[in-house]
Amino acid sequence: MHNFHCTISRRDFMKGLGLAGAGIGAATSVMPNFHDLDEVISAASAETSSLSGKSLNNFPWYVKERDFENPTIDIDWSILARNDGYNHQGAYWGPVPENGDDKRYPDPADQCLTLPEKRDLYLAWAKQQFPDWEPGINGHGPTRDEALWFASSTGGIGRYRIPGTQQMMSTMRLDGSTGGWGYFNQPPAAVWGGKYPRWEGTPEENTLMMRTVCQFFGYSSIGVMPITSNTKKLFFEKQIPFQFMAGDPGVFGGTGNVQFDVPLPKTPVPIVWEEVDKGYYNDQKIVIPNKANWVLTMTMPLPEDRFKRSLGWSLDASSMIAYPQMAFNGGRVQTFLKALGYQGLGGDVAMWGPGGAFGVMSGLSEQGRVANEISPKYGSATKGSNRLVCDLPMVPTKPIDAGIHKFCETCGICTTVCPSNAIQVGPPQWSNNRWDNTPGYLGYRLNWGRCVLCTNCETYCPFFNMTNGSLIHNVVRSTVAATPVFNSFFRQMEHTFGYGMKDDLNDWWNQSHKPW
């Protein structure tokens, strides 16, 4: 078998795809020149001989690694400043802070939309595209789709109740103390009064261990971002958990009677670093120990078959399912770290700063036109990056280049399917002068005040269907990674072959599916 030789040349193969012409040399140059399977195996072994983000996540051969703090987005670290955090969250909901310092409701010049306006815009778009679709009472679809949406969103964003108790896990958990231990509520040896030694491993061993643990809990890929004077600027300046995590009455059905081990701050408090042994928070600040030098980032895959039929206002069930799962699994990874004798601080989509920034900087993805993460392996079929600040030594992973950010400049399909014109048209920008602007990086900037939460931008993205093994997608991905010559051609292919939303909306209910 190792002596098998291909009988078709790369040039003939590309001609068969209709890609002959002036750019053929550029296209064929991106494909590796293997003579037999022994060379393929040798190349794969060479790639994994040293631990990196690329080898850690089994990214394809055409993915290039860049220098630390140098992603495919240009960054001027001298200008980049910490976002003021809580005031730039809550573009969709949430009570006004008690001190009245509130920037979540932008200037009318930004042409932002109210929730009813967003809902009506989306439903009008959906009705035009799918005349037979019934939005149901809440705009999520008919009764069974509505039921699936509520079931998928159970647990909410960033917190869940420990069954049978009043205890909650939340994004503000800093040391795993909120919530119980495992079987019979018995603490593990490593934290049992200091009687037993904690786990000690090399950074390489620790990184591989955390990959295995995260995959066991359901994450698809992990990265490690070192905390430096520059990357500290990716952290929010201030933060508070979303108010409804503390059971705020009237918001997502909160009861207002949930008690946390440490009361949650009621107003935004600064995130600071101090020379302390353990992280903590009070009503004055959130403290990260100086020795916690790593941010562990983790991506959660979304159920693709359902996502390709994700009609519905305010996120489909296939998107909502990620949020409680990330809360569960962030708590599990955090508890695992504590059981080893270390700390993982935070652990959910709302904590520390924008998930996309951490995911891009740790090499899990590139930034897409929707200001989202797009992975070379899972495409846009992930829900951001979960993140934990850790004091467990790990191997930092570098930013990557798979040609994705560059492809978005040519593509722009997402702008044509956005019901509210929330997605930036044109090249990346250094600044957008809007209420949610963070200057200092040349990137795409979504107008969150107009986003209707429909996920069309992900569903129709050419990089969404990344997990299928079709040969044509592999050729497209490898070509995009090495040269932009064919980007406009590949963009047109998406329309020609009819990728995007599936038409058989109801057939999904009668099919057998893989987990997730």
**pLDDT 10s digits, 109-140:** 778 888 888 999 999 999 998 998 989 888 88
Q: What is the per-residue pLDDT for 464?
A: 79
Spell out the residues 6+ positions from residue 95 whose beta carbon is closer than 8 angstroms to its own: 243, 248, 251
Pairwise CA distance, residues 459 & 303, whole Å: 11
Give the three-state DSSP class for 187.
coil
CA 353 to chain centre: 12
Nearest to 315 by CA among 83, 87, 93: 93
Distance (Å) of CA 146 to CA 159, 201, 227, 326, 468? 22, 47, 42, 22, 29
The answer to whether residues 57 and 377 touch, using CB atoms and an 8 Å cutoff, is yes
Pairwise CA distance, residues 87 & 435, whole Å: 10
Q: What is the per-residue pLDDT for 147?
A: 84
How many residues are listed for the chain in this entry?
Answer: 516
Neighbours of 70 (CB within 10 A): 13
Distance (Å) of CA 405 to CA 152, 463, 472? 31, 11, 20
Half-sphere exposure of 339 (CA within 13 A, CB side): 14
Q: Exposed/middle/buried for 102, CB within 10 Å: 0-12, 13-18, 19+?
A: middle
Sign of CA dihedral 226, 50, 398, 209: negative
Spell out the residues 6+ positions from residue 148 whose beta carbon is closer than 8 angstroms to its own: 317
Residues of the chain below pLDDT 50: 1-31, 37, 40-41, 43-49, 90-95, 162-167, 169, 171-172, 175-180, 242-260, 469-472
Pairwise CA distance, residues 395 & 282, whole Å: 31
End-to-end CA distance of the chain: 35
Sign of CA dihedral 55, 61, 67, 72: negative
Pairwise CA distance, residues 392 & 201, whole Å: 9
Distance (Å) of CA 124 to CA 118, 131, 256? 10, 10, 36
> Starting from the edge strand earliest in sequence, which strands make up the sheet with 221-226, in order?
221-226, 294-301, 382-390, 344-346
Place of tokens 């949430």: 94
pLDDT per residue as tens digits for the range 355-378: 889 999 999 999 999 988 999 888
Q: Exposed/middle/buried for 468, CB within 10 Å: 0-12, 13-18, 19+?
A: exposed
The answer to whether residues 476 and 490 touch, using CB atoms and an 8 Å cutoff, is yes
Nearest to 482 by CA among 22, 12, 31, 17: 31
Half-sphere exposure of 72 (CA within 13 A, CB side): 29
Neighbours of 136 (CB within 10 A): 17
Spell out the residues 6+ positions from residue 448 whose beta carbon is closer than 8 angstroms to its own: 91, 422, 436
The answer to whether residues 158 and 241 touch, using CB atoms and an 8 Å cutoff, is yes
Q: What is the per-residue pLDDT for 79?
A: 93
Q: What is the dihedral of CA 384, 228, 440, 388, to 10 degrees?
A: 20
Pairwise CA distance, residues 321 & 335, whole Å: 22
Q: What is the per-residue pLDDT for 50?
A: 72
Pairwise CA distance, residues 330 & 351, whole Å: 11
Neighbours of 78 (CB within 10 A): 8
The answer to whether residues 459 and 451 touch, using CB atoms and an 8 Å cutoff, is no
Q: What is the phi/psi pair of residue 358, to 5°? A: -70, -40
The answer to whether residues 162 and 260 touch, using CB atoms and an 8 Å cutoff, is no
In DSSP terms, 64 is beta-bridged to 401
Specify the DSSP class assigned to residue 429: B
pLDDT per residue as tens digits for the range 222-249: 999 999 999 999 998 888 654 333 333 3
Distance (Å) of CA 483 to CA 22, 114, 428? 13, 42, 19
In DSSP terms, 86 is beta-bridged to none
The answer to whether residues 80 and 233 touch, using CB atoms and an 8 Å cutoff, is yes
Q: What is the per-residue pLDDT for 495?
A: 59
